[in-house]
Amino acid sequence: MKEIRIHGRGGQGSVTAAELLAVAAFEDGQYSQAFPSFGVERRGAPVVAFTRIDDEPIRMRSQVYNPDYVIVQDVTLMDVVDVAGGLKEDGMMIINTEASAEKFEEVPARVMVVDATRIAMEIIGRPIVNTVLLGAFAGATHEIRLNSIRKAVGDRFSGTIGEKNIEAVEAAYNAMEES
Amino acid sequence: MSELKAELKVVEGSYAVAHAVKTCHPDVIAAYPITPQTHIAENLSQFNADGELGNCEYITVESEFSALSTLIGASATGARTYASTASQGLALMHEALFNAAGMRLPIVMTVANRALSAPLSIWNDQQDSIAQRDVGWIQLYAEDPQEAADMTPQAYKISEDRDVMTPAMICFDGFILTHVYEPVALLEEELTDEFLPPFNPEHILDPKNPETFGAFADPSIYTEFRYMQELGMREALKKIDPVAEEFREIYGRYYGGLLDEYRLDDAEIVLVAMGSIIGTIKDVIDEVRRDGIKAGLLKIRSFRPFPLDAVRKALKNAGIIVTLDKNISIGKCEGALCTEIKAALYNTRLDTPVVGYMLGHGGRDVPPEIIKKIINKATRSMKDGLTIESSYADLKEEFV
């Protein structure tokens, strides 16, 4: 089983990202589960969402304490929340930042960085980074195929918005592949 | 992708339930939104707006008390009725819950289990439905969205049976199950039609053939009305297992009837629980069994009617019984399952120790480690012959 924890702020679409990961993983032929940390939703407040992926049906319903992967949608959360808490040593953290990975040497696991905000601004025209980070996740981890992320995003967002989101997913995926 | 998996779709738990309700063709729905039930009511409202509920009347009401009162009237005319609620909403229905049961109206309602105020908590435990234990409703508890969806037509079939005629609550842990996205096989209209006959009550409110429902009963007859409710529950007790089997024949899915067992055959330590913690417990049992600890699980699906004989039979070889409750009877410091299980063993030749743990109240997470700790404590207690009184498993002493 692979466990993923997504840190974001209310309004950034962390819960949607967790859901889309679950949809994409299932598209890949795996079982999946996504759920929010059930806080009272407020825009800007720290939010956590979780996804589990496994070959077998998933029965576990506790929160995720030892994630294989952590996705940080907003780098300013790193001063507020223990985003690395419980992260497995051989796990990975994917951070949305313009800084380089070396800047995060305090994280006791591999760090991959992506400037998701820039990609989102350039392609989508708004700083909505959740789908961008899904592309980055697929590119950095290869836990989920790019095509499945594309399909999950395309099914959720229709028309031009959907196309732009898919383009942003691909850009982040390729950025990770190259790094 | 396997054939079975091809039927699955990743949806939110609330959607799976709302979709299941749709396939049962309710005639009247009345619901008032309350967290964490809201998505069920929203999805049904959407189906209605999209014309997917046929001739169903979706009545938006000003409170939960009105929601259930509306359905009491509707059900008495022979309409199939549905409601969903949680927590304070269910508490507000309290008086009308007795009326629905006493008038023998087979209303089906999903309860998205949530803690009660004060202090205000929007999060999950099962205090809300447990507090309604004695209102005369059938209470079924689901471990996951699939089971809650599948229980819906089963609940109608049991409740509407002419020998039963008793309303039913499907209890479904708020947030943990209502808000989870996971693969679910959505119910199919044709299959539900095959499984669930139309509602055809013996007595209805009809101006052409006037009858009285729920009228005055003086001391010469009140007891008999109440006893007949008990007889209805006894009929439900007989029907829950066969209805689960009929569902399996048509849908190919089965979650147990009155109860379900997991690795119970040779289990020395038997955990008894209901609702969403079942899955976590199963994973922990697999893990501790690899270390040679013989743990097993008795899952209670039907809390009312309480399956006394089946529970006794399932527990007869246990060395120690551990109940896990997401509710408390304050003043007894014990959860409802603990009390039931202790009572079930009385008047038998069994003298098996029962240890009650309360946990996961007000949305406190139940991590596998706490289940492991509980099993280890029970193992030691069984070996040492020590008695453990009922207590909270996850209390933070430093805040008390």
A56 contact B CB<8A: no
A26 contact B CB<8A: yes
SS (H, E, C) chain A: CEEEEEEEECCCCHHHHHHHHHHHHHHCCCEEEEEECCCCCCCCCEEEEEEEEECCCCCCCCCCCCCCEEEECCHHHHHCCCCCCCCCCCCEEEEECCCCHHHHCCCCCEEEEECHHHHHHHHCCCCCCHHHHHHHHHHHHCCCCHHHHHHHHHHHCCHHHHHHHHHHHHHHHHHHHHC
Secondary structure class of B307 (helix, strand, coil): coil
Across the A:B interface, residue pairs with CB atoms under 8 Å apart total 69
- Assess contact for A17 and A169: CB atoms under 8 A: no
Cβ separation B277–A33 shorter than 8 A: no
In this prediction, the residues of chain B whose per-residue pLDDT falls under 50 are: 1-2
Tell me the ipTM for this assembly: 0.95
Q: Which residues of A touch B12 (CB under 8 A)?
A: 19
What distance in Å separates the CA atoms of residue A105 and residue B242, rounded to the nearest whole number? Answer: 61
The reported pLDDT for the residue numbered A96 is: 97
β pairing state of B8-12 and A110-114: unpaired
Structure tokens at A35: 């759920």
Would B9-251 and B259-399 be classified into the same CATH topology?
Answer: yes
The reported pLDDT for the residue numbered B48 is: 97
Per-residue pLDDT at A160 exceeds 80: yes
Tell me phi and psi for residue B204, to 5 degrees. -135, 160
The reported pLDDT for the residue numbered B382 is: 86
Cβ separation B279–A26 shorter than 8 A: no
Closest CA of chain B from A58, distance in Å = 8
The reported pLDDT for the residue numbered A40 is: 65
Structure tokens at B44: 């049904």
Residues 122-181 of B with CB under 8 A from A: 122-123, 144, 175-177, 179-181
For residue range A143-157, list pLDDT tens digits in order.
Answer: 999 999 999 999 999
Secondary structure class of B375 (helix, strand, coil): helix
Nearest CA in chain B to A24: B10
Q: Please state the domain extents for chain B.
A: 9-251, 259-399
For residue range A115-133, list pLDDT tens digits in order.
Answer: 999 999 999 999 999 999 9
Nearest to B100 by CA among B75, B134, B79: B75
Closest CA of chain A from B383, distance in Å = 29
Nearest CA in chain A to B7: A26
What distance in Å separates the CA atoms of residue A83 and residue A46, rounded to the nearest whole number? Answer: 11
- Of all residues in chain A, what percent carry a pLDDT higher than 90? 91
CATH architecture of the domain with residue range B9-251? 3-Layer(aba) Sandwich (3.40)
Cβ separation B367–A63 shorter than 8 A: yes
Secondary structure class of B168 (helix, strand, coil): strand
CA atoms within 13 A on the CB side of A147: 3
State the average pLDDT over residues A62-90: 96
Predicted TM-score (pTM) above 0.80: yes
B368 contact A CB<8A: yes
Q: Which residue has the tokens 């789908």?
A: A131
* Identity of the residue in B175, B180, B365 whose CB atom sits nearest the CB atom of A33: B180
- Assess contact for B103 and B76: CB atoms under 8 A: yes
B182 contact A CB<8A: yes
- CATH number assigned to the domain covering B259-399: 3.40.50.920
According to DSSP, residue B186 is labeled -
Cα-based distances in Å from B379 to B258, B376, B390, B395: 28, 5, 16, 21
The reported pLDDT for the residue numbered B383 is: 86
Interface with chain A: mutation pick from B3, B7, B113, B182, highest number of A CBs within 10 Å: B182
Q: Which residues of B touch A61 (CB under 8 A)?
A: 176-177, 180, 276-277, 279-280, 366
